[in-house]
A and B are shown apart, each in its own frame.
Chain A
Amino acid sequence: MTSRETGDGRRETGSGRKSVSFRVVRRGAALGMIIALAASPVLGQAAGAPNTQQPTLDLTAVSLPIPAAGKLVAITNATIMTASSGTIEKGTIVIRDGKIAAVGADVPVPAGAKVIDGTGKYVTPGIIDAHSHSAAEAINEGTLSITSMVRIEDVLRQDGISLYRQLAGGTTTLNILHGSANTIGGQNAVVKLRYGLPVDSLMFEGAPPGIKFALGENVRQTNRNLQPGQQGRFPRTRMGVEDLLRDAFTRAQEYRRDWQQYDAKKKAAKTAAERTALIPPARDLELDALVEVLEGKRLVHCHSYRADEILMMLRVAKDFGFRVATFQHVLEGYKIADELAKAGSGASTFADEWAYKMEAWDAIPYNAALMAERGVVVTINSDSDERARRLYQEAAKAMHYGGASEQEALKMITLNAAKQLGIDKRVGSIEVGKDADLAIFTAHPFAPNARVDMTLIDGRVFFDRATSPTLEQLIEQMKQRRPRVASEDQ
């Protein structure tokens, strides 16, 4: 089913085709629209282009106003799965100015708080998807294999309905990565799903920058059908991938040395004339990002499948003195879990995808649990607009395959992802002082009939099933408009 095979950053069809500008208007915020237009060339284009989509009666329109910044909110009498310190029965969470102010079984509800009754409900930290391609206009700069200069942030968009649907699955933070066409694909963007706000509001303020690397079949492009006369691109083998990486980081080292020498001379200069006489090295945006990697200021997220290519990447990183923050997919990570743990690299994998290509042939669903058992910080990601809507179900597979504990499984879509992205001081667990990014479920999130009722980001309700257009509601509306709808169909 190629339409569902997104294990490689291939986009799924069928999502996010709605006109973005239209949706912002429909939110009833003309001002938001103007801000959005000013802030984003992408939105500007969408609005300026002739609207070929017919904005007929849209029953799916989200009727919520842009969420108000709640000052004081309390979720009461809920089962609270903290992800860091177990589960609290009949607990209360107090949110003040978007942060968790108190959590516990005996926490009083402060006067004036807006109360969300959590009776019978389960609250988890907002789900963090450690591997996403949503909200990006483009994800593969396919002309070269090293494109460390391109940035997801430059092509972010609100992406229409898809982001909303992920919110409806309790997902609140995404690590938006480039695709896997290139050895070094470009700079990532960590975002919060502040759907409906201007596109700039998506960025997770203060999140450490990252960069996407990729190894294996996709980089080699061996699954790609070349047109007659079209020449394949270097590299074509896993050896070539290593060569490119070493070449790039060697150039980055030399570039850094040139700048260090220039800076030193500048510092040593005694007069203004001496300083002016110095010529700085040419600025190189490609190498700037790699120097940040060398200096540990930019997290490497490396798409990978086979054990051999992962070990290669670890050797290259060691030789150049940086750490690979996460291996993405890392389907054979279980074969070299000890090496991953020793290198301090995280692993972000699929729950049970396999056999969609040769390098996924040895993928096993026990991967997450086995790596965790060996001390690797593991996450389960979506890499898909579809799976991002039900990561809680995917996480439970770590219990099914390999017997991870409930908390360990929950951490794989919350706290561990926050750790991998360097944002665990802000999000990932329900703890005092952290952002009030929360998902409220109708049942235990791993239960078969679990559904998200409400999703909060920074204490603001961004999804509420009670006010969202559902299929049931749509059918009801259709019946009212056309009472004999069923018989007409006959």
Chain B
Amino acid sequence: MRNAARWLPTAARYCRGLLAAAIGAAAVTSELDAQAAAGTFVIRGGTVVPVVGAQIPNGTVVISQGKIQAVGANVQAPQGATVIDATGLFVYPGMIDSGTELGLTEIGSVPGSTDTREIGDFNPQDVALTAVNAHSELIPVTRVNGVTTVVTSATGALMSGTAALIDLWGWTPDEMAIKPRVAQVMSYPSSGGLGGRGGGFGARPQGDASETASRQVRAMRDFFADARAYADVKAKVAAGGSVPNAPRANQAMESLVPAIRGEMPIIFDVNTIDQIRGVLTLADSFKLKVILRGPRDAWRVADTLAARKIPVIVGPTTQVPGSDDPYDALYAQPGVLAKAGVKIAFQTSGASDVRDLPYNAALATAYGLDMDEAVKALTINPAQIFGVADRYGSLEAGKVANVMVTTGNPLDVRSNVKYLFIRGEQVPLTDRHTKLYEQFRARPKP
């Protein structure tokens, strides 16, 4: 990411300033042109929580050229660096939400502003990044709370297409992308009706619905079988083999090739134990690399999931549990999974509420999840699950400088983000909400 402001000639920047002033606090802007600044930064005096490795009291983090250059107790500050005094503050890596619709929806009830659900059950060829609005008002609102990276995708179809792993910073979707196609997103059929995200916790199986579910499972298996055949033929052709009646190019099949070869993970939105078992069977049949997301019942097979090294994206914890589950089931599940050795990460599954990601994790810490594990589940774990742990998820030299400086534990609602860096640029902590707040706080008495 280059310095945004540098791209704009001075005059243009001036005009933009005027325009923003004219429109006032409700102006539509994604803040990219504000005071974002690249450069060399030294954050010192704070408690550094690198996530990987022990906390460093009175530690220093050096950022330049978009990367973390150094982390430690005795780090020399480079010449000419901008110094950020973090005395009494804490330094964490930016947080990662492993399941959102961010950028794909603006106002839930306004159909014209949402791109979260395509017509049809099988759309593996759809690419979420295509529809990410880099200038969504929801993006600055999210990142000022320390969420710097998200997985975003359509959901609700049997095959919804590929999710994008994006940083919440950039002028275009391509600039935001870390992995433009990070995983396929699918919903395992629910005998309680499809209805998105594994069917929700509502309706129980009724004759027709469960018949539909089994038909959907068969259709899904057929689809994978076709994709397997397609990939095999493709491999033969690539190896110079002659294939009679080779199929014509097919977008949907083409898009599934990486997944059927086990190179791209598949996020399965599931809920019940039946769906989880179904996914495990599918994974066995087609040698798929699967990630479970949003399950209610994963705790029932925690040992199995740990043994098979299947990661689980938990949450939102802010849901009511199944009617037959203990009152604390969704709060306690992340702790049960982590203790069993399952790699967990958190999701909000939303858009306007992605900023609440750390508070989802907080609820789990109240019911058995170790605090350090919770922080990992917001940082290094998702980085590992999505194959970017070499660049993301911790404060280590050489990694992308997504860094937040906070007044306390980010899982504590009372804490605030004081400084924020995404890809080494200092990001202004302003958004639609801070502007409306400042505007009306200054309203004269009527």
Check A469 against B433 for contact (C-beta < 8 Å): no
B414 touches A370 (CB 8 A): no
- From B71-79, B103-111, B233-241, the one touching the partner chain is B103-111
Interface residues of A in 4-22 (CB under 8 A from B): 4-5, 12-18
> Is A390 an interface position by the 8 A CB rule?
yes
Measured CB to CB, the nearest residue on chain A to B350 is A1
Q: Which of A29-37, A204-212, A354-362 contacts B (4 or more CB under 8 A)?
A: A354-362
A-contact bits for B286-327, CB 8 A (1 contact / 0 none): 000000000000011111100100000000101111111111
Q: Is A467 interfacial (CB 8 A cutoff)?
A: no
Selecting from A136-144, A228-236, A448-456, the interface stretch reads A448-456
Contact of A14 among B322, B365, B367 (CB under 8 A): B322
Q: Hey, which chain A residues are within 8 Å of B351, CB to CB?
A: 355
Write the nearest CB–CB distance from A453 to chain B, whole angstroms. Answer: 11
Bound form: Cα–Cα A161–B321 in Å: 10
Q: Which single member of B200, B409, B437, B443 contacts A366 (CB below 8 Å)?
A: B437
Q: What is the CA–CA distance of A15 and B201 in the complex, to the nearest angstrom?
A: 9
**Interface of chain B residues 47 through 88 with chain A (CB within 8 A):** none
B414 proximity list for chain A (CB < 8 A)? 396, 399-400, 446
Check: B440 CB closer than 8 A to any chain A CB.
Answer: yes
Q: Is A402 a contact partner of B200 (Cβ separation < 8 A)?
A: no
Task: Provide the residues of chain B in CB contact with A12, threshold 8 Å.
Answer: 320
B34 at the binding interface (Cβ < 8 Å): no
B362 interface residue, CB < 8 Å from A? yes
Q: How far is the CB of B384 from chain A (nearest CB, A)?
A: 23
Chain A positions within 8 Å of B138 at CB level: 355
Which chain A residue lies CB-closest to B365?
A449
Interface segment, B3-11, B352-360, B392-400?
B352-360
- CB of A421 to closest CB in B, whole Å: 25
In the bound complex, residues from chain B placing their C-beta under 8 Å from that of A490 are 304, 307
| Chain B residues in 8 Å Cβ range of A364 | 432-433, 436-437
Whether the Cβ atoms of A470 and B363 lie closer than 8 Å is no
Say yes or no: A390 contacts B318, CB within 8 Å.
yes
Within 8 A of B (CB), among A159-214: 160-162, 164-165, 168
Stretch at the interface among A124-132, A251-259, A472-480: A472-480
CB distance B323 to A161 under 8 Å?
yes
Query: A14–B202 contact, CB under 8 A?
Result: yes
- Residues from 356 to 383 in B contacting A, C-beta threshold 8 Å: 356, 359, 362-363, 365-368, 371
**Residue in contact with B300 in the complex, picked from A165, A470, A489, CB distance below 8 Å:** A489
Pairwise interchain contact B109-A472, C-beta atoms closer than 8 A: no
Chain B residues within 8 Å of A161, by CB: 323, 327
The answer to whether A365 has its CB under 8 Å from any CB of chain B is: yes
Q: Which of A108-116, A149-157, A294-302, A331-339 sits within the interface? A: A331-339
Least CB distance from A203 to B in Å reads: 24
Complex Cα distance A2/B333, Å? 23
Residues of B contacting A361 with CB < 8 Å? Answer: 107
On whether A14 and B323 interact (CB within 8 A), knowing A361-B107, A446-B414, A489-B301, the answer reads yes
Known A-B contacts A448-B412, A471-B332; the reply to A2 vs B326 at CB < 8 A is no
Query: A227 in the interface, Cβ–Cβ < 8 Å?
Result: no
Write out the residue numbers on chain A whose beta carbons fall within 8 Å of the beta carbon of B365: 448-449
Whether a CB of chain B sits under 8 angstroms from the CB of A237 is: no
Bound complex: CA of A397 vs CA of B355, how far in Å? 12
Q: How far is the CA of A387 from the CA of B353 in the complex (A)?
A: 13
A40 contacts partner chain B, Cβ-Cβ < 8 Å:
no
Identify the closest chain A residue to B26 (Cβ): A362
A3 within 8 A of B: yes
A396: which B residues are within 8 A, CB to CB? 413-414
B248 in contact (CB, < 8 A)? no
Judge if B328 is at the interface, Cβ distance under 8 Å: yes
| Contact (Cβ within 8 A) B307 A385 | no
How distant is the Cα of A282 from the Cα of B197 in the complex, in angstroms? 54
Q: Is the CB of B436 within 8 A of A362?
A: yes
User: A381-412 vs B: 1/0 string, CB under 8 Å?
Assistant: 00001110110010011011110000000000
Closest residue on chain B to residue A443 by CB atoms: B366
Quick check: A471 and B320 within 8 Å, CB to CB? no
Say whether, besides A338-B446, A390-B363, A393-B362, A356 and B108 are in contact (CB < 8 Å). Answer: yes
B333 A14 Cβ-Cβ under 8 A:
no
Contact of A472 among B108, B368, B416, B436 (CB under 8 A): B368
Bound-state CA distance A490–B303 (Å) is 9
Contact A355 B320 (CB under 8 A): no
Contact A386 B318 (CB under 8 A): yes
Closest 8 CB pairs of A and B: A14-B201, A13-B202, A486-B303, A448-B362, A396-B413, A357-B109, A471-B332, A355-B352
B positions within 8 Å CB-CB of A: 26, 106-110, 137-138, 195-197, 200-203, 277, 299-304, 307, 316, 318-329, 332-333, 336, 349-353, 355-356, 359, 362-363, 365-368, 371, 409, 411-416, 432-434, 436-437, 440-441, 443, 445-446
- Report which A residues bind B (CB closer than 8 A): 1-5, 12-18, 58-60, 160-162, 164-165, 168, 217, 223, 334-335, 337-339, 352-358, 360-362, 364-366, 370, 373, 385-387, 389-390, 393, 396-397, 399-402, 442-443, 446-451, 468-475, 486-487, 489-490
10 A-B residue pairs with Cβ-Cβ distance under 8 Å, sorted by A, are A14-B319, A16-B323, A160-B323, A358-B107, A362-B26, A366-B437, A400-B413, A402-B437, A442-B366, A449-B371
Known: A17-B323, A18-B323, A489-B303. 11 other contacts (CB 8 A): A5-B108, A14-B202, A58-B324, A334-B436, A355-B107, A400-B414, A446-B412, A451-B366, A451-B367, A469-B327, A474-B326
